[in-house]
Amino acid sequence: MANAQSSILILGTAQDGGYPHIGCQKQCCQRVWNGTSERRYVVSFALIDPETKHWWMFEATPDIKEQLQYFNKLTNGAYKYLPDGIFLTHAHMGHYTGLMQLGREALGTKGVKVYTLPKMRHFLENNGPWDQLIKLHNIDIQTIKPNSITGLGEHIKVLARTVPHRDEYSETAGFTIITPGKRYLFIPDINKWDKWDRDIINEVKDVDIALLDATFYDETELPGRRMEEVPHPFVEETMQLFNRTDKVTKAKIYFIHFNHTNPLLWDTGIQTELGNAGFNCAKQGTKL
Report how far apart, in Å, the C-alpha atoms of 145 and of each of 15, 162, 285 are. Answer: 26, 9, 31
Residue 229 has pLDDT above 90, yes or no: no
Average pLDDT over residues 127-145: 98
In the three-class reduction of DSSP (H, G, I as helix; E, B as strand; rest coil), residue 55 is classed as: strand
Summarize the confidence of residues 112-124 as an average pLDDT.
Answer: 98
Mean pLDDT in residue range 223-248: 88
**Which pLDDT band holds residue 226 (cuts at 50, 70, 90)?**
confident
Mean of the per-residue pLDDT values for the chain? 95
pLDDT interval class at 159 (50, 70, 90): very high
Strand intervals (E) in the chain? 7-12, 44-49, 54-58, 86-87, 112-116, 139-143, 149-152, 156-162, 173-178, 183-187, 209-213, 253-256, 280-281
> CA 42, CA 19: separation in Å to the nearest integer?
8
Q: Distance (Å, rounded) from C-alpha 191 to C-alpha 158?
A: 22
DSSP string, 111-134: -EEEEE-HHHHHHHHTSTTHHHHH
The CATH number of 7-281, from 3.40.30.10, 3.40.50.720, 3.90.25.10, 3.60.15.10, is 3.60.15.10
pLDDT at 139: 99
What ranges do the domains of the chain cover? Answer: 7-281
pTM metric for this prediction:
0.96
User: What is the pLDDT at residue 219?
Assistant: 85
- Whether residue 156 has pLDDT greater than 90: yes
pLDDT per residue as tens digits for the range 167-205: 899 999 999 999 999 999 999 999 999 999 999 999 999
9 exposure class (CB count in 10 Å sphere: 0-12, 13-18, 19+): buried
pLDDT of residue 4: 53
pLDDT mean over 49-73: 98
Higher pLDDT, 234 or 153: 234
pLDDT over 60 at 1, yes or no: no
pLDDT given at position 222: 77
Rounded Cα–Cα distance for residues 208 and 170 (Å): 29
